[in-house]
A and B are shown apart, each in its own frame.
Chain A
Amino acid sequence: MLRIKNLHAKVGDNQILNGITLEVKPGEIHAIMGPNGSGKSTLASVLAGREEYEVTDGEASYLGKNLFELSPEDRAREGLFLAFQYPVEIPGVSTINFMKTAVNQIRKHRGQETLDAVTFLSLMKEKIKLVEIDQTLLNRSLNEGFSGGEKKRNEIFQMAMLEPKLAILDETDSGLDIDALRIVANGVNKLRSKNNSTILVTHYQRLLEYIVPDFVHVMYKGKIVKSGTKELALELEAKGYDWLKDEVAVA
Chain B
Amino acid sequence: MSEITEVKNSTGDVYSTLSSSTPLRESAKAAFQQLGLPHVKTEEYRHTPITRALEKNFNFDSTQNPLSSIQNIKDFEIAGVDTHVVVMINGEFSENLSRISGSDIIIKKLDENEQREHLAKYANFKTDALVAWNTAGWHGGVYIHIAENKVIDRPIAIYNIQDASLGEVKSITRNLIVVGKNSEAAIVEKFDSIGAHPNFSNQVTEVVVSENAGLNFYSIQADHGNRYQFGQTTIWQANHSRVNTYTFTLDGKFVRNNLQLLLDGEGCESHMYGLYLLHGDTWADNHTVVDHRKPNSFSNELYKGVLEGNAKGIFNGKIFVRPHAQKTNAFQTNRNILLSDKATINTKPQLEIWADDVKCSHGCTTGQLDEEALFYLRSRGIEKNTARAMMLYAFVAEVLDNIPNEKLRVFIDTMVSERLHKNF
Chain A residues closer than 8 Å to B380, beta-carbon distance: 76, 98-99, 102, 158, 162
Contact B397 A105 (CB under 8 A): no
Chain B residues closer than 8 Å to A51, beta-carbon distance: 371, 375
Q: Determine which of B371, B373, B378, B424 lies in contact with A76 in the assembled complex, contact meaning CB atoms within 8 Å.
A: B378
A195 to nearest B CB, angstroms? 19
Contact A73 B391 (CB under 8 A): no
- Interface check A148, CB cutoff 8 A: no
- Interface check B331, CB cutoff 8 A: no
Contact with B along A91-108 (1 / 0, CB 8 A): 111000111011101100
Q: Determine which of A76, A90, A105 lies in contact with B379 in the assembled complex, contact meaning CB atoms within 8 Å.
A: A76
With known contacts A73-B378, A92-B397, A101–B386 Cβ distance under 8 A? yes
- Interface check B395, CB cutoff 8 A: yes
Chain A residues closer than 8 Å to B117, beta-carbon distance: none
Chain B residues closer than 8 Å to A106, beta-carbon distance: 381
Chain A residues closer than 8 Å to B398, beta-carbon distance: 92
Interface size class of B (residues with CB under 8 A): 20 to 34
Whole-angstrom distance between the alpha carbons of A50 and B394 in the complex? Answer: 23
- Interface check A187, CB cutoff 8 A: no
Interface size class of A (residues with CB under 8 A): 20 to 34
Number of A-B contacts (CB under 8 A): 78
- Interface check A60, CB cutoff 8 A: no
B382 to nearest A CB, angstroms? 5
Chain A residues closer than 8 Å to B373, beta-carbon distance: 88-90
Contact B378 A92 (CB under 8 A): no
Whole-angstrom distance between the alpha carbons of A71 and B383 in the complex? Answer: 9
Which of chain A's residues has its CB closest to B401's CB? Answer: A92
Contact A90 B376 (CB under 8 A): yes
- Interface check A39, CB cutoff 8 A: no
- Interface check A72, CB cutoff 8 A: yes
Whole-angstrom distance between the alpha carbons of A97 and B375 in the complex? Answer: 17
Contacts of A70-127 to chain B: CB distance below 8 A: 71-73, 75-77, 81-82, 84, 87-93, 97-99, 101-103, 105-106, 109
- Interface check B393, CB cutoff 8 A: yes
- Interface check A149, CB cutoff 8 A: no
Q: Determine which of B370, B371, B381, B395 lies in contact with A105 in the assembled complex, contact meaning CB atoms within 8 Å.
A: B381
With known contacts A88-B373, A92-B397, A92-B398, A102–B391 Cβ distance under 8 A? no
Contact B395 A101 (CB under 8 A): no
- Interface check A48, CB cutoff 8 A: yes
- Interface check B372, CB cutoff 8 A: yes
Contact A76 B391 (CB under 8 A): no
Contact B381 A102 (CB under 8 A): yes
Which of chain B's residues has its CB closest to A161's CB? Answer: B380
Whole-angstrom distance between the alpha carbons of A158 and B386 in the complex? Answer: 18
Contact B394 A82 (CB under 8 A): no
- Interface check A222, CB cutoff 8 A: no
Which of chain B's residues has its CB closest to A76's CB? Answer: B381
With known contacts A92-B395, A101-B390, A101-B424, A84–B382 Cβ distance under 8 A? no
- Interface check B30, CB cutoff 8 A: no
Contacts of B241-296 to chain A: CB distance below 8 A: none
Contact A92 B393 (CB under 8 A): yes
B224 to nearest A CB, angstroms? 28
Contact B377 A90 (CB under 8 A): yes
Whole-angstrom distance between the alpha carbons of A87 and B379 in the complex? Answer: 11
Chain B residues closer than 8 Å to A213, beta-carbon distance: none
- Interface check B99, CB cutoff 8 A: no
Contact with A along B367-411 (1 / 0, CB 8 A): 000111101111111111011001101110110000000000000
Chain B residues closer than 8 Å to A34, beta-carbon distance: none
Contact B382 A105 (CB under 8 A): yes
